[in-house]
Amino acid sequence: MSKIHVSYNQIHSMIKETVDAMHLNDDFQPDIMVAIGGGGFIPARILRTFLKKKNNKNISIQAIGLSLYEDLEIWKAAHKDDTQEPVANEPEVIKTQWLNFDSSETSLIGRNILIVDEVDDTRRTLAYAVRELAKDLEKESAKLREQGLEVPETKIGVFVLHNKLKEKREQLPDEIMNGRYFACKQMPDQWLVYPWDALDIEEHTEKSKENTY
């Protein structure tokens, strides 16, 4: 599988173009981001530059940690399995860091939440993040209803740098895919190398100039 090196400048430009082209500030209007570590951290920070402030404050970025890719790469190397079919002992997504719903500062009820990651590959990590977040939101909503309070609508969206056009292992809810899914680039199933993984950033940047996708 060929490698595609992506530079910081390319990422900065594609994020700006996507915010404008997909009318992120006018339509979805995110007011909080949830970045999936570690690939979603830098894209979320760049994305915040192009999002409108809320009440004269920058959009908040919350961090979550999910473990799949590191274990999955080890698993793939051991099994040499290129099939798209799930295998019984394939690594599961697990939480390594999650949101603290006991803090009022991180309350997500009534917010437009934008989950940010670097790539939509098999979609397992993104689907897990959406599913677990929805569970927590329902628990928080139930507490409000028990108090006789009205629960404002909460919306979840997804933002990725790249969506690989391949069969996905899991799916996202229709309400996300129909208007709340934002991918900067649609691309074939190729090996992406991001600048935050580079050992030699100058060499990486030079290789990124070969991009034709």
Mean pLDDT (the chain) is: 89
User: Which is catalytic among the residues 26, 120, 121, 174?
Assistant: 121
pLDDT at 55: 84
| 126 token code pair | 């993104």
DSSP state of 57: B
**Burial tier of 38 (Cβ tally within 10 Å: 0-12, 13-18, 19+):** middle
On the question of a cis peptide bond just before residue 37, with omega within 30 degrees of 0, the verdict is: no
* Predicted confidence band of residue 211 (pLDDT cuts 50, 70, 90): confident
pLDDT at 67: 80
Q: What is the pLDDT of residues 48-98, one digit of tens each?
A: 999 998 888 999 999 999 887 555 555 555 655 555 555 555 667 888 888
Lowest mean pLDDT among 76-85, 105-114, 166-175: 76-85
More confident residue, 95 or 204: 204
Is 121 a catalytic site residue? yes
| 81 token code pair | 């399995």
